[in-house]
Amino acid sequence: MRQLLPFAISLTLIGCATTKTDVRNDAEMSKYDPATTARVRLITGDTTYGGYVSGQSCEAVFSEAAQEIPAEQRGWVKAHIDSEGLYPFRASDRQNSVIGMPATQATKAINDSPKIYDEHVVPANQPLIAAFSMGGSQISCWPKPVTFTPEPGQDYEMQYEMVKFSTFKAGCVIKVRKLSSLANTTVETPMSPQICVKTAAGIYQPMDPQ
């Protein structure tokens, strides 16, 4: 019994880490103007990471020349900033950064998962590129980045998902949903945005998903 005690304590601590707190991001909220901007929610956490950039093309973001420039200088915004420490004991592992976007099935279930989410204000009527990755000791996957143009005053939710293509083949994709409020509920409309793909000529271009 004594040998099992440390294991039981560690499971308890990890379980506690799934209780999330919403932290209001006033600085980000102040940027929101429904006439010129939109809001996006990126769900990450655990071994899943994400980020986005606005107003750029696939080639400008992913070309070999672009990769030599630090991500921040290319306008890349991380979905979530981790505080110091080790997962899952960092304060940031239990905090959602919110700016008033409507709740969804994913956000309502966030406490039952190791995930977290962050809400950001982005320019409307400009192309947005979002990329996610998942890497761990058991499995890793990098889905094709997605690109779409947010509409003014609209809300969007994005997350990484594993998908099964066939009996022996699986992969990962970025799911994008457009959110709208109807009475006291949130309507979640799945989107099929284009993806950034490297062509045979070595140029990154947006293409429709197959």
HEC string of the chain equals CCCCHHHHHHHHHHHHCCCCEEEECHHHHCCCCCCCEEEEEEEEECCEEEEEEECCCHHHHHCHHHHCCCHHHHCCEECCCCCCCCCCCCHHHHEEEECCCCCCHHHHCHHHCCCEEEEEEEECCCCEEEEEEEECCCCEECCCCEEECCCCCCEEEEEEEEEEEECCEEEEEEEEEEEEEECCEEEEEEECCEEEEECCCCCEEEECCC
CA 52: distance to chain centroid? 8
Segments of the chain scoring below 50 in pLDDT: 1-17
Residue 18 confidence (pLDDT): 65
**8-48: pLDDT as tens digits:** 333 334 444 468 999 999 999 999 999 999 999 999 998 89
Neighbours of 175 (CB within 10 A): 18
Residue 11 confidence (pLDDT): 36
Instruction: Locate 44 and state its tokens.
Output: 């990450």
Instruction: Locate 24 and state its tokens.
Output: 């209001």
Residue 103 confidence (pLDDT): 96
Sequence ranges of the domains in the chain: 5-207
Residue 140 confidence (pLDDT): 87
